[in-house]
Amino acid sequence: MTKLIKLMSSAIAIACLLMTPLKANEEAFAGPYLGINAAVVGVEADASHNDNQGNVTTGTAGKVATIAGAELGYAIPMGGMILDIGGTFFSGEAKLATKSDLASKSNTTEVKFQVEDMWTAYIAPTFVMSDTSSMYFKYGVVEAETSVSGDVTTPGDLSGETFAIGTRTVLDSGLFVRSEAGLHDFDSISVTGKGSSNGITTTTKITADPTIAYGSISVGYKF
């Protein structure tokens, strides 16, 4: 994550040096907007499994899913650039499954994590490239609901940070198209076994550190 933050910071610095802001065109991008979006997400979780004998196994699980959502925001002219402040909500789900090979084969050891209903709040410094196009760098906070199936406790919801880069094209009519690529980096979550009959023992702990890489397309209207 440190490398990613340094990369984003370097990209912003280079953009500031190379771009000549077009102040006359800022008003074309400024103001409130509303849009709908679709995204392809790749969910990855670095997980560890600690069983009742003190044995620890680690691994990575992944899943690709398609989700849809909406966005609402306001772009503010800043004299040479635009500050975009907004939020997005995605309705959809992605599931990850893990199973320990260390536990007894008679036990039900499979655990499935499900991530759904994700929202973000963000700020995005935006640079005007032409009469109709702009480029931005986004930073935000993200939360998502989490559920789990299996003989384990229920974890809390996910929270983390969002980093992204994208472009937005606004037509004279106010219609816009946004394309974006980014990463949601969530805090780790953990569950423990419930100890049910033929289930996962209470001394077993499963920890996951999920991240979501995504690409999205939005269409909407700037008022």
CATH number for the domain that contains residue 102: 2.40.160
**Rounded Cα distance, 133 and 167, in Å:** 7
What's the one-letter identity of residue 82?
A: I
Number of domains in the chain: 1
pLDDT in tens, 85-134: 999 998 877 766 665 544 444 445 667 777 788 999 999 999 988 889 99
Alpha carbons 200 and 112: distance in angstroms, whole number: 13
Whether the model pTM is above 0.95 = no
Q: How far apart are CA 202 and CA 205, in angstroms?
A: 8
Sign of CA dihedral 25, 128, 132, 219: negative
**Sign of the CA dihedral running 134, 74, 82, 9:** negative
Q: Which residues pair with 182 in a beta bridge?
A: 164, 214
Q: Is the model's pLDDT at 10 over the cut of 60?
A: no
Q: Which domain holds residue 67?
A: 2-222
